Amino acid sequence: MNTTSHVQHGAWRLPEARQTDFNSLDHWVSLAKTLEAGKFDFIFFADVVGLYPDYQGSWRKFVESGLQIPSNDPSVIASAIAYATENLGIAITSSVLQAHPFDFARKMSTLDHASNGRIAWNIVTSPMRNAWRNFGYDEITAHDDRYLWADEYVDVAYKLWEGSWDDDALLQDKVSGLHGDFDKVHKINHDGKRYRVEGPHLVSPSPQRTPVLFQAGSSPAGRRFAARNAEAQFILSPTPQAAKGLIDDTRRLVAEAGRHPEDLQFFQGLSFVIGSTEEEAARKAAELDEVLDPSSFIAHIAGSLGYDLGFHDLDTPVGEIETQGLRSVLAWLHEAVPDREPTVRDLAALWGKNGRVVGTPESIADTLATWQAAGVGGINVVNSTIPGSYEEFIDHVLPVLRDRGLAKRNYAEGTARRKATGRDRLPDTHPAAAYRGAFAPVIAS
């Protein structure tokens, strides 16, 4: 995320951590080049457009800890990354809340041209009330209704990306003087519940037309949305076994939506602490724990808990604060700390270690093989430090993964979608494909 403290709160204080340089374009271009040299598929930017719910009744904590504020717009730096790289996919998050779909579709098409087809979109719906208030709403739209909203949003974008221009509409013929073929550019005339968009799309067809589509969020409504739309879903499963259950269920929905089950891939978020021996890795993990800030983790997850835990001392036993909203999280915590009454501090510590893999490159490769066997198609490498977390992964883990056939040695040719799936554009089974040719005038014969 284009901010100091995204997930591993407090790690920015480590001497080698450079994530405080996030305002600098050089910082991101340099990271992108590092990732490309390491043959990463994508640089993925998370993004939010508001604050998390209050901590200790206030948003002070977020400012004081650099917890996703300040944060910058990733789409603006995407074009610089596109210019500085050739093969790296560039995935940016944008909420249906933050931009009108006409404007957003135009921006993404422009970036897809600028990157020769390497743009991806992580579709999110903004679960934070403050974000909604930033865009003029008094209250947040209800959970499942946000996904219905997203359904219409993506439909508008699909119409513009896939249906507005025929492939051969742009002529640029200097001899005839004809720049565009009027009969092959179409208005979309979308008239829906939230949006009315006449069109046409102002951008000519880009290499991928629709960007590679990512989604995060695995509630029943989220799974249904992903099954219809996404090509990759970010997941945060606690175990490979849990991931398998989620993947099998969601792939069943993909098939129900008329798509091929393998057309949706799953990327598990994991962070890595790497040592040349298990002892060294454990020591580095302990050093990291020293700087991680438990109260920031509590502040960050309060939104998911639906409860401001900030009013409780970190050493408060959770048994004293049971509430309706917290019940499932507390049950999970009791399982994780079975031998005594867990505290708020335990919750923060366990949350901070969620998805952390500690070990040698070889043992990490063993762990990743178990995730792959569960159906996970890729790893979202969560950083503790930028660029250190990625440099270590590239230098030490990727060579072992390559030797085991778990990571590629070279990029395939072409767009981000072609590299991943062998084709530049969405398959015919994707709902966006239904808009191809859908707006062409019907000519009476």
Q: Enumerate binding residues for ligand FMN (CB under 6 A).
A: 46-48, 93, 95, 124-127, 143, 216-219, 221-222, 234, 236, 269
d(CA 258, CA 208): 21
Give 24 or 219: the residue with its C-beta nearer to ligand FMN.
Answer: 219
Q: Give Cβ neighbours of residue 291 (< 8 Å, ≥ 6 apart).
A: 10, 11, 13, 14
The least CB distance from residue 199 to ligand FMN, in Å, is 28
Q: Return the number of other C-beta atoms located less than 10 Å from residue 441's C-beta.
A: 7
Q: Return the number of other C-beta atoms located less than 10 Å from residue 304's C-beta.
A: 13
Give 115 or 126: the residue with its C-beta nearer to ligand FMN.
Answer: 126
Q: Is the CB of residue 296 less than 8 Å from the CB of residue 5?
A: yes
The least CB distance from residue 64 to ligand FMN, in Å, is 22
Beta strands 119-124; 178-180: pairing state: unpaired
Residue nearest to ligand FMN (CB): 222
Token code pair at residue 307? 């409860």
The least CB distance from residue 300 to ligand FMN, in Å, is 12
Q: What is the 3-state secondary structure (H, E, C) of 244-298?
A: HHHHHHHHHHHHHCCCCHHHCEEEEEEEEEECCCHHHHHHHHHHHHHHCCHHHHH
Give 48 or 358: the residue with its C-beta nearer to ligand FMN.
Answer: 48
The least CB distance from residue 260 to ligand FMN, in Å, is 23
Give 304 or 370: the residue with its C-beta nearer to ligand FMN.
Answer: 304
Give 65 or 71: the residue with its C-beta nearer to ligand FMN.
Answer: 71
The least CB distance from residue 378 to ligand FMN, in Å, is 12
Q: Is the CB of residue 424 less than 8 Å from the CB of residue 432?
A: no
Between the CA atoms of 108, 109, 114 and 120, what dihedral angle is there, to the nearest 10 degrees? 50
Give 95 or 164: the residue with its C-beta nearer to ligand FMN.
Answer: 95
The least CB distance from residue 359 to ligand FMN, in Å, is 22
